[in-house]
């Protein structure tokens, strides 16, 4: 004769609960990681935009001053824009 107690199936219920909590936590960590990567990409895009605006303003200034010549460039700046290049 099998005897059933009130704790029957409780281990299965605990295991399913822990699995659900782990899935939710893993999803939250993945969303956090994606947010960090997106913030980093946005920062690099903002730096590229500022650098481009600065260069265009410099070219406009030289054109207004009459010192702009075709193919000549005085400013040389190296800026790493790729998040992967920083490592």
In a domain, 3, yes or no: no
- Return all residues near 68 (Cβ < 8 A) that are at least 6 apart: 59, 62
Section 11-24 average pLDDT: 93
pLDDT tens readout for residues 42-82: 988 888 888 888 888 888 888 888 887 777 666 666 666 55
Contact 48, 80 (CB under 8 A): no
In a domain, 5, yes or no: no
pLDDT band for position 21 (cuts 50, 70, 90)? very high
In a domain, 6, yes or no: no
- The domain in which residue 31 lies consists of 11-64+77-86
pTM, full prediction: 0.53
Contact 59, 68 (CB under 8 A): yes
d(CA 79, CA 82): 9
d(CA 44, CA 9): 53
Q: What is the pLDDT of residue 36?
A: 92
Per the structure, the count of domains in the chain is: 1
Query: Above 90 in pLDDT, residue 24?
Result: yes
């Amino acid at each position: 004769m099998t005897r059933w107690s009130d704790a029957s199936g409780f281990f299965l219920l605990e295991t399913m609960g822990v699995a659900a909590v782990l899935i939710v936590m893993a999803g939250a960590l993945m969303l956090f990681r994606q947010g960090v990567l997106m913030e980093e990409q946005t920062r690099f895009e903002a730096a590229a935009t500022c650098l481009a605006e600065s260069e265009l303003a410099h070219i406009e200034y030289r054109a207004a001053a009459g010192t702009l010549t075709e193919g000549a460039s005085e400013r040389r700046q190296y800026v790493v824009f790729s998040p992967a290049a920083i490592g």
